[in-house]
Chains A and B, each alone.
Chain A
């Protein structure tokens, strides 16, 4: 690479050199010279809207805006002459003409650039005596955002964030001149998954969070650095804590993960932590109901039940809500203390599905997504599952990257997708095979009906000529009736293009659970059990190193009466397993169920003993992200009642069983893990291990609509839902709204369903009531139903023995004839 040309300039008498293309503002800031700004934001190109950054440049008659001015050789710049000061004062006086100065009731007070700069650079008085511009205030723009228009200084940061960073164009400027205002079209609720970021970058209190309104002042908050565990991206966050309450979540800069952004689930999803529903004491079943009990009694009861059975008749499910250290101690507890190999965190996997044959996670580094020149999303709804990753892809599209999507439901980001192959359920595999053929250069076999072969060829060409392609396969593909085919074709396509397949699967700390060995067939660190056996024995004493049952097999065993005790830790099986009926059948035959969780989940309601556990924001330790990055979580608050950390619970239980699991704290566990898990280190990435892909074991069964059930169900993901945690975070629950399903207008017409009206979806198995959303983002003949709404659980409709779920949709109140 050639040396970047530099220029030399003088700012306030300091000689500086800067890369060509640097602005005067950037050169000054780097040299520690302060220039006040409002509209400029270093993640976006300069705009020059506010004129706060004025400087004097020798030989130029007027003051210049330093944020737009490119530094040039020999330039002589002054940032603090009387002329500049007068300019800054004039701009501030101008900005304050209509500003209400309601700082005492403004959430931004104390951390407001307008306040700070007025104090530092302002004139201190105003010549304006006229009435200020007035707006009805505040305006609610949906569940998360509040707008106080009269505070806005029209810097356009929020608008440009939506255009340049998120691509959702959520906020815009309306009207013009004196009447200009920031808003959404018709003041409707803002449509965004990233709006919290605009609150963070608004330099005044015009955009504030409903959940933080009048809650705290910055100096009353104690910031705690941690990591978001809600989806798997692992964004760096800071919890602001006041007393024993998290008042808000803010982004912490992490260049390799979230840069300076978060999604709204991260921003507003912490509220469940101090919800009054939190479990505070252990519960025991007595005479059909629960009674509160002591830890002593609860643990004794579990220990005595475990004493009456043998290790292999015990199993453990769950783990995605644990820290790495919790998961590791759980592995140790079950393999070494209880002596069972039946442990699996993949509770939502379909039996015999490719879900169980691949390692979940990304080999590609998150930061490298921005450098990709072609991204292929296979059954992977990126904004609904791993939202902050989209911001990296958006950067790639700005650089000209091509996005290709193979999906049964049009993506929200489709405006940025160059080729979107919207396919019928069960035909994704055929699309992928045709695409793989085209990439390989052989004549593509028959593309499924409705898929344009020219588009396939063009997409394949773009992928074939990409030098930095990224391929991602998601749950929608892996769980599809032709999931094995999709996986095989995706793998083939990756081999052809010399790239790796990223398996976009797993929520929360599923990756940490994998690394810590909460799997039936591998040891911590993804090593073969036999290889790790002697080291494990050294660390843990005697243990079982057999391969155990997978999550679906554990349920089967329970149904068959093969289990005595099931531990469910940090999972809500009733809602998480793919087929609710199987869980019911399993529970019915289970003699003893222990649930360790933060809430009385549906699963916990069926337990014999419930142990109250802490959540991530109450624990110290580490978690692992989808790219394998290990990061710290820190206890922001201490947790309700007698709730305890998960590893401490298991250690106490081990003691009851006469075994010792003793650690002084998370550090000691982490250090022990380092000896067993190659590559483990804070802020290091653990490798994702992909075992050789098994061949499809599932017979391809042609599916056909059964009588009375004409539509095909597509279960899928929604970022905002109403599950155990999200339904207890009011902002998220409001963003999610009531359970819904998406129908094509043709099908909606047939059944007389109107947008927003209640419908009932029925399969041979069961039914759920939801509100209809009518849109051509799904093809005719399909119904999209998001998982994660506990009031309308998809798994009541699904029979995992059938590759395809057929349903019928009925309008509850037929639409009035128009």
Chain B
């Protein structure tokens, strides 16, 4: 819609910088809706997760129904609808990793972090999730922490890796995007 008088009102989800970034992304595509996945990452980065307000913000800027934005976001594993910890651990449980003992790795993470799958540690440092094949079968069993791949895991190796994240920083600058 082209309002005869200015744009629609703003919600309380997104800053004007985030809105501007989404508009910039939309301009990159012949069909502005194509920018939706990137726009969701912008929102997630700003709010920390996809809160209803953040989704409303994306929907408003992109002139899409909120239901459509939520539906699309729910299709992908890398969007979070609940607040997550500083580092999101995704343990692959698909075939190659299963055959190579991801069960043991997952169990180890649960015991060590004292949380179940889908939960976040009380210090909000780690969120534990499982994932389908992360396209790194050669590294099975493997997991992602943020965007970093860690493979050929053993419980000892997991311990070592976790200490590297435990001080709150990523060991290397985090890249964004799928």
Q: Which residues of B contact A456 (CB under 8 A)?
A: 4
Q: Which residues of A contact B71 (CB under 8 A)?
A: 172-174, 185
Number of A-B contacts (CB under 8 A): 70
Mask: chain B, 125-163; 1 = CB below 8 Å from A; 0 = not: 000000000000000000000000000000000000000
Q: Which residues of A contact B70 (CB under 8 A)?
A: 172, 174, 185-186
Q: How far is the CB of B114 from chain A (nearest CB, A)?
A: 27
B1 and A451: CB pair below 8 A? no
A414-422, A493-501, A652-660, A722-730 - interface stretch: A414-422
Q: Which residues of B contact A173 (CB under 8 A)?
A: 71
B41-49, B61-69, B85-93 - interface stretch: B61-69
B1 and A414: CB pair below 8 A? yes
A410 and B66 in contact (CB under 8 A), knowing A185-B52, A418-B2?
no
Q: Which residues of A contact B81 (CB under 8 A)?
A: 186
Q: Which residues of A contact B74 (CB under 8 A)?
A: 174-176
The residue on B at minimum CB distance from A410 is B8
| Among A175, A176, A745, contact of B9 (Cβ-Cβ < 8 Å) | A745
Q: How far is the CB of A419 from chain B (nearest CB, A)?
A: 6
In whole angstroms, how far apart are the Cα atoms of A459 and B3 in the complex?
11
Check B5 for interface membership: any CB of A closer than 8 A: yes
A422 and B3: CB pair below 8 A? yes
A169 and B4 in contact (CB under 8 A), knowing A415-B63, A745-B9?
no
Q: Which residues of B contact A184 (CB under 8 A)?
A: 67
A776 and B9: CB pair below 8 A? yes
Q: How far is the CB of B90 from chain A (nearest CB, A)?
A: 16
A185 and B55: CB pair below 8 A? yes
B75 and A175: CB pair below 8 A? yes
Q: How far is the CB of A749 from chain B (nearest CB, A)?
A: 12
Q: Give how many B residues have a beta carbon under 8 Å from the other chain's beta carbons.
A: 21
Interface centre among B6, B9, B55, B63 (most CB of A within 10 A): B9
Check A455 for interface membership: any CB of B closer than 8 A: yes
In whole angstroms, how far apart are the Cα atoms of A419 and B81 in the complex?
34
Q: How far is the CB of B32 from chain A (nearest CB, A)?
A: 13
| Among B1, B9, B10, B67, contact of A415 (Cβ-Cβ < 8 Å) | B1
Check A170 for interface membership: any CB of B closer than 8 A: yes
| Among A175, A415, A452, contact of B4 (Cβ-Cβ < 8 Å) | A452
Q: How far is the CB of A164 from chain B (nearest CB, A)?
A: 13
Q: How far is the CB of B33 from chain A (nearest CB, A)?
A: 12
Mask: chain A, 399-428; 1 = CB below 8 Å from B; 0 = not: 000000000001000111111111000000
Q: Which residues of A contact B10 (CB under 8 A)?
A: 776
568-592 of chain A: CB within 8 A of chain B: none
Check A8 for interface membership: any CB of B closer than 8 A: no
In whole angstroms, how far apart are the Cα atoms of A452 and B2 in the complex?
10
B4 and A420: CB pair below 8 A? yes
Q: How far is the CB of A228 from chain B (nearest CB, A)?
A: 27
In whole angstroms, how far apart are the Cα atoms of A176 and B166 in the complex?
33
A420 and B3 in contact (CB under 8 A), knowing A185-B52, A185-B55?
yes
A185 and B2 in contact (CB under 8 A), knowing A175-B74, A775-B9?
no
Q: Which residues of A contact B5 (CB under 8 A)?
A: 421-422, 450-452
The residue on A at minimum CB distance from B74 is A174
In whole angstroms, how far apart are the Cα atoms of A543 and B65 in the complex?
59
Q: Which residues of B contact A172 (CB under 8 A)?
A: 67-68, 70-71
Q: Can you sample 30 A-B contacts with CB below 8 Å?
A: A162-B67, A169-B65, A169-B67, A172-B67, A172-B71, A174-B70, A174-B71, A174-B74, A174-B75, A175-B74, A175-B75, A184-B67, A185-B55, A185-B66, A186-B52, A186-B70, A410-B8, A416-B1, A419-B2, A420-B2, A420-B3, A421-B4, A422-B3, A422-B4, A451-B4, A452-B4, A455-B4, A745-B9, A775-B9, A777-B9
Q: A172-B71, A452-B4 are in contact. List 8 more A-B contacts (CB 8 A).
A: A169-B67, A172-B70, A174-B70, A175-B75, A185-B55, A416-B1, A420-B3, A455-B3
